[in-house]
A and B are shown apart, each in its own frame.
Chain A
Amino acid sequence: MTDTEGLMTQQGADGGVPALRTDRLGRRYGKVWGLRDCTIEVPAGAVAALVGPNGAGKTTMLQMIIGLLEPTEGQVKVFGQASRANTTQTLARVGYVAQDHPLYRDFTVAEMFRLGQAMNPSWDQKLAAARVDALGIPLNRKVRRLSGGQQAQVSLTMALAKKAPLLVLDEPVSSLDPVARLEFMRDLMAAAADSALTFLISSHVVAELERFCDWLIVLCHGHVQLAGPADDLLGDHRLLTVPRATADSELPGTVIQRTDSDRHSTVLVHVGAVPLRVQGHAGWQADPVSFEQLVMAYLQRASLTIDADPAPAAQRPGPSAKAVTR
């Protein structure tokens, strides 16, 4: 479990039980679907990013994964076992760091830990104490006297000490200043190196994500737009520069986003694993896409689709929106 250098072995093994799997997961609020048709898989040992704008359905999805919200349809499996909302088994298998780091403000750090110990049979007090010691947070300090960054780190410590194999973090750094943000992520990456845990981190900030995650899930309007290993997703897409007159149908692969200038067009295409040959076409150029370009292209495409089609949810062919829509 703690062999640092063997970190990725479980991820590479095909056929291993995924840390997380959702099957056509959906949640309806009254007549509106907050999330629908969500089928994803995250392998054990991955650091997965769940990306999407505010209101995309990220929190709905996370709450169903951690077992706080009952799905309207579909199901969640954590390490192969079906999750039931609000049961002890489900809650014990998933650690959770909430967006606003809810802690009792009048408790000391030690008292927060005692609470964690009382509520979690698998609580690791040694780990908790060693972590705050290493971070320089005094055990006898009251929560309200800690900085925002320190509160976030106490929240993370509590989730880690729970010893759950899957850790879910909902926008963990959105309330922190840039320095505290970096320190929190540094601590999180070190924790990831120290353990065989699987992480699912939601974020509406796309910049810098490439550094932190090896698995990507892009969510928009309650639907999964793109999901998979980050390196493969990057490798499957190209940014083409072509003469303006080139029609979409002449382009290789699937057009995800196209920007037309006066004489040339920039097109982000999904080409898959097939090597792309552009030398036969005068004026064509193919470049690799950046992480941010990829995510933004899918998010913008999702917004266009929604605007153009008032009821897209039911007509979607599958969960991974690879179909051409334009």
Chain B
Amino acid sequence: MFRFRLDGSSGVPPYLQLVHQVRQALLLGYLQEGDRLPTVKEVAADLVINPNTVVKAYRQLEHERLAGGRPGQGTFITAAAAPVRPEAQDLRDSLEAWLRAADEAGLDEEAVTALIAVARRDLSKEKESAR
């Protein structure tokens, strides 16, 4: 059975964390079409969170057509895992090369994270102003 986790310090709303985890597990192949997700009660008790949060996450997954509820049976994964696109491997290779370069340049993990955050922010600003 798929187990969710919760990061209290991430600043990401709990229901979105659950949605992200399903998306990520689909990409990595840890979740596959037909898998049953834990019931609302199981997640609520497991993570000690409000069941309405879980309901909201499952609704979002249904909305994104990644999961669907079957009456009386639970919520199931309905989407096949997205095929890994060939450019994804290239991106991974170039990222690894970049991280190695950063390491050689003496950047520690914190500096790398900060750099990525800044670059991301600039990029999203760029996108926003292009709209």
Contacts and interface: CB of A to CB of B under 8 A. Distances in A.
B24 interface: no
Contact of B44 (A193, A210, A277): A193
Nearest to B71: A5
Interface residues of A, number: 29
Contacts of B74: 5
Given A211-B6, A212-B50, A213-B50, A8 B41 contact: no
Interface string B31-44: 00000000111001
A237 to B, nearest CB: 13
Nearest to B41: A193
Contact of B14 (A47, A190, A194, A211): A211
B122 to A, nearest CB: 10
Given A47-B50, A47-B52, A211-B6, A186 B40 contact: no
Contact of A288 (B11, B53, B59, B69): B11
Given A47-B52, A210-B8, 11 more contacts: A4-B51, A5-B74, A8-B59, A11-B52, A189-B45, A193-B41, A193-B44, A194-B41, A212-B49, A214-B50, A214-B52
B51 A192 contact: yes
A7 B52 contact: yes
B128 interface: yes
Interface string A286-326: 00101000000000000000000000000000000000000
Question: SS class of chain A's interface: helix, strand, loop or mixed?
Answer: helix
Contacts of B45: 186-187, 189-190, 193
A234 interface: yes
B51 A189 contact: yes
A295 B13 CA distance: 15
A185 B48 contact: yes
Pick the most buried of B8, B59, B75: most chain A CB atoms within 10 A of its CB: B8
Contact of B129 (A11, A185, A279): A279
A298 B84 CA distance: 47
9 contacts: A4-B40, A7-B52, A185-B48, A192-B44, A192-B52, A210-B13, A211-B6, A211-B8, A214-B53
B85 interface: no
Nearest to B51: A193
B23 interface: no
Given A8-B56, A279-B128, A279-B129, A189 B49 contact: yes
A45 to B, nearest CB: 7
Given A189-B48, A279-B128, A8 B8 contact: no
B92 interface: no
Contacts, number: 79
Contacts of B81: none
A109 interface: no
Nearest to A210: B14
A46 interface: yes
A48 B112 CA distance: 40
A208 interface: yes
B48 A7 contact: no
Contacts of B63: none
Contacts of A130: none
B31 to A, nearest CB: 19
Given A4-B39, A4-B41, A279-B125, A186 B53 contact: no
Contacts of A45: 52
A20 to B, nearest CB: 16
